[in-house]
Amino acid sequence: MFDLTGKVAVVTGASRGLGRQDALTLASMGADVVITDVLVEDDPNLQQTAESQGSMLAQFAVSQGWVHSNATAEAIRQMGRKSLAIKMDVTNRDQVREVFKNIKDEFGKIDILINNAATLDHAAQIPNQSYELWDRDVKVNLTGAFNCTKEAWPYMVENHWGRLIFMSSVAGTLGGFGQASYSSTKAGLIGLAKTAALEGGRHNITANAIAPGIIESEAGKAAAANNPLYERFKARTVFKRFGQPEDIANTIAFLCTEEAGYITGAVIEVAGGIPLFTA
């Protein structure tokens, strides 16, 4: 059970954090995995690339040495799977189209797409939300996932099999104070996932959204350090602790299996019970 041998997966935003763990977990279950990210450690202009994204988090990831695109691909190859790390900007439609075509040519097919790439550094109440960062977040978080889904779609239809995962958030199901752009785009991904589920059923393509709570990735740990708000968030979970990247990756991996073939259009919260009304 739960064997992905022979499947080809693409994970966007997989240089670090949840995307990286997703890729490693899929590979551990037998899948060949393509790592895509705008940040790749052998990019001679890595710092400039990070700065061009208009993301403080991307720049912080570079400064902290959190970029592991090639290293993740190598770790997957050490498992005996096939893997590549490819620099790709999900907002660049021509580039996305070319990358997905090259993956199809190199790997023979595309079975699984994990839409993980996202921005997460725009924190301000609505009167102070930046127009520029709002537009950026929509472009990366929502339109980027659409771009990748659109390019992967015909290859899944061709195989009459596919698994689409959209990385939403409890900010998308509950709203997020000071997170108008982030929560709106994450809510939009739920609508996109449900539409893909409706349209994909006739092609044996499932589409589901994952809504994580606060997860102790590199960025999650950095954000929580010395921030009293995060102690309140932790107290809202029924376990009184934050989740681990493996909690998300294991859920995603299951949804990609044959055994999960009747699950589609679902929004699965992996949040330790944060949405529950607790005392």
pLDDT > 70? residue 34: yes
Q: C-alpha dihedral over 124, 126, 131, 134, to 10 degrees?
A: 70
The backbone torsions φ and ψ at residue 216, rounded to the nearest 5 degrees and listed phi first, read -85, 65
pLDDT, tens only, 153-206:
999 999 999 999 999 999 999 999 999 999 999 999 999 999 999 999 999 999
**Length of the chain, in residues:** 279
**Can you give the pLDDT at residue 146?**
98
DSSP SS3 for 131: helix
For CA atoms 168, 170, 175, 179, give the dihedral sign: negative
Tell me the average pLDDT across 104-118: 98
DSSP SS3 for 166: strand
- Band the pLDDT of 227: cuts 50, 70, 90: confident
Q: Which helix (H) or strand (E) holds 183?
A: helix 180-200
**Can you give the pLDDT at residue 224?**
76
**Can you give the pLDDT at residue 141?**
98
**Can you give the pLDDT at residue 101?**
98
- Band the pLDDT of 232: cuts 50, 70, 90: confident
| Cα first-last separation, the chain | 39
**How far, in Å, CA of 252 to CA of 167, rounded?**
9
Tell me the average pLDDT across 39-65: 91
Lowest mean pLDDT among 62-71, 106-115, 201-210: 62-71
Give me 145's structure tokens. Answer: 């996932």
**Can you give the pLDDT at residue 221?**
80
Burial class (CB in 10 A: 0-12, 13-18, 19+), 95: middle
Q: Which helix (H) or strand (E) holds 129?
A: none
Each domain of the chain, given as residue ranges in start order, spans 8-270
Residues 2 and 250 sit within 8 Å (Cβ to Cβ): no
For CA atoms 14, 20, 24, 26, give the dihedral sign: negative
Q: Which of 75, 2, 65, 64 is nearest to 35 (CA)?
A: 75
- Band the pLDDT of 279: cuts 50, 70, 90: low
- Band the pLDDT of 225: cuts 50, 70, 90: confident
| pTM, two decimal places | 0.96
Give me 39's structure tokens. Answer: 């940040």
**Can you give the pLDDT at residue 222?**
76
pLDDT, tens only, 134-160:
999 999 999 999 999 999 999 999 999
**Can you give the pLDDT at residue 60?**
87
**Can you give the pLDDT at residue 184?**
98
Catalytic residue set: 182
pLDDT > 70? residue 16: yes
**Can you give the pLDDT at residue 273?**
95
Q: Cα 242–197–166 angle (5° rounding)?
A: 30
Amino acid at 271: A
Q: Which of 124, 114, 105, 139 is nearest to 37 (CA)?
A: 114
Tell me the average pLDDT across 248-261: 98
**How far, in Å, CA of 223 to CA of 21, rounded?**
19
User: For 8-270, CATH number?
Assistant: 3.40.50.720
Give me 2's structure tokens. Answer: 């739960």
pLDDT > 90? residue 40: yes
Distances (CA, A) of 38 to 22, 77, 132, 154: 17, 21, 19, 24
Give me 243's structure tokens. Answer: 């989740």
**How far, in Å, CA of 81 to CA of 229, rounded?**
41
**Can you give the pLDDT at residue 230?**
85
